Amino acid sequence: MEGIIKRQRYIERVKPFIGKQLIKILTGQRRVGKSYMLKLIIQEIQEREPKANIISIDKELEEFAAITNHQELNEYVLGKLKDNQPNYLFIDEVQEISAFQRCLRSLLNQNTCDIYCTGSSANMLSGELATLMAGRYIEIPIHSLSYKEFLTFNRLSDGTESLQLYLTIGGLPYQHHIGLEPSLVFEYLKNVYASILLKDVVSREGIRNVSLLENLVAYLADNVGSLFSAQNISRYLKSQQVAIPTQSVINYLHALTNAYFIHKVSRADINGLKIFEIGEKYYFEDIGLRNSIRSFNYRGDIGKLMENVVFLHLIRSGFRVFVGKDGDQEIDFMGERNGERLYVQVCYLLTDEKTIQREFGNLAAIADNYPKYVISMDSLSSKNTYKGIRQLSLNEFLMMDDF
């Protein structure tokens, strides 16, 4: 497996389920490295069991084009099984096979092989067919590279220049084959964006008005981290001579989240965790893709970029993330994981006392004792706490493995 860099966080998540009677499904946006994760899992299995029979199907390769539905999948797999050997089945982009759940459930019930799949559509884990697999699978989300992974992939050291590069070109794994020149990386990212939009959104969701979809994505890119509703987006686009009904906005947003291209973050009351139905934020799965969509301005966009990468770091670490609401005050992020919670405020620079009071004051007003952080590009002189709230530079926060 020369040339493949291990993403240990995900390997450790998969290891406990190897050999267990559960379907392992790796989900995530196109090009975040799901296929390579399958290769790493195969490597792990072959090290454990050298005689393992590996059955591998990659729906992006022409040789597997004939496998289009669950019957053809079942026939192919049964023809590849070997007696008296442990059998392992790997399917890349499984959602391309119609009603694949029927075949996988049958194989699981017969205990014929240990099953691993990847998918780039959230739809495959919802709806009528997905009920066939209820309680029979474990989902493992795969994300674009974290900042630490970005440094490892590109053989860089942590520092201001490396962080700025990460905030510019993002963390799609294949980027390290292209190099670190932003203009070259952006050409690659524009092609990835077009592929996601056409294959995973327009074609899969049956969207007819591609121009409106592109206008919506551009709006989201300009307003990363802003609170808005589908109705407000529709009104704004109409003011720009782009007429789009509110329901279409809702449908298009849903389609983009189904492709894991953007993430919806709902508002929640921090006292009772009541979820508010109106007003949410959207963040991009890869900040480089976001930057490739619009004319990129690092200095002008820095606040949006910081919020986006902080959000991504939280979900990579296993948190469910909300926009916190405490009366009239807003907390940028409230994360929940295993019954624990944390709060995060993001600010570009803590330049004056008014800014410090605003960012720390919202957190200080929260009555519980869960960890609270303020993340900025600078530091509070020689101390890193203020009223018991921990202040970290963005570098320090992104280098944290746990909280």
User: Do the domains 147-398 and 8-141 match in fold?
Assistant: no
pLDDT score, position 1: 47
Instruction: Give pLDDT tens digits for 119-168.
Output: 999 988 887 667 888 889 999 999 999 999 999 999 999 999 999 999 99
pLDDT score, position 381: 59
pLDDT score, position 242: 82
Residues of the chain with pLDDT under 70: 1-4, 128-129, 273, 380-383
pLDDT score, position 386: 77
Instruction: Give pLDDT tens digits for 192-238.
Output: 999 999 999 999 999 989 999 999 999 999 999 999 888 888 888 88
Beta bridge partners of 119: 27
Which whole-number Å values give the CA distances from 207 to 168, 252, 400, in the listed order? Answer: 30, 8, 40
What 3-state DSSP class applies to 59?
A: coil
The residue assigned the tokens 């050999």 is 19
The architecture (CATH level 2) of 147-398 comes to: Orthogonal Bundle (1.10)
Cα 383 to its chain centre, rounded Å, is 33
Can you tell me the distance from the alpha carbon of 157 to that of 121, in angstroms, rounded to the nearest whole number? Answer: 35
Can you tell me the distance from the alpha carbon of 286 to that of 298, in angstroms, rounded to the nearest whole number? Answer: 15
Continuous segment of H or E residues that includes residue 365: none
Cβ–Cβ < 8 Å for 92, 59: yes
- Which residue, among 42, 56, 41, 31, has the nearest Cα to 10 in the 3D structure? 41
Annotate 283-341 with DSSP letters as a single string.
EES-HHHHHHHS---HHHHHHHHHHHHHHHHHHHTT-EEEEEEETTEEEEEEEEETTEE
pLDDT score, position 129: 60
pLDDT score, position 382: 53
- The encoded tokens of residue 45 equal 């299995």
Burial class (CB in 10 A: 0-12, 13-18, 19+), 29: buried
Query: Residues with Cβ < 8 Å from 181, sequence gap 6 or more?
Result: none
Average pLDDT, the chain: 93
Residue ranges of domains in the chain: 8-141, 147-398
Domain 8-141 belongs to what topology? Rossmann fold (3.40.50)
Could you give the count of Cα atoms lying within 13 Å of 271 in the half-sphere of its Cβ?
Answer: 9
pLDDT score, position 337: 96
The residue assigned the tokens 């109106």 is 278
Can you tell me the distance from the alpha carbon of 388 to that of 221, in angstroms, rounded to the nearest whole number? Answer: 35
Which whole-number Å values give the CA distances from 216 to 31, 37, 202, 211, 227, in the listed order? Answer: 22, 32, 13, 9, 15
Going edge to edge, which strands form the sheet with 262-269? 275-284, 262-269, 320-326, 329-337, 340-346, 372-376, 389-393, 385-386
Continuous segment of H or E residues that includes residue 376: strand 372-376
- The encoded tokens of residue 56 equal 């591998």
Query: Residues with Cβ < 8 Å from 161, sequence gap 6 or more?
Result: none
Query: Residues with Cβ < 8 Å from 98, sequence gap 6 or more?
Result: 68, 69, 70
Beta bridge partners of 138: 24
The residue assigned the tokens 């809702």 is 250
pLDDT score, position 384: 76
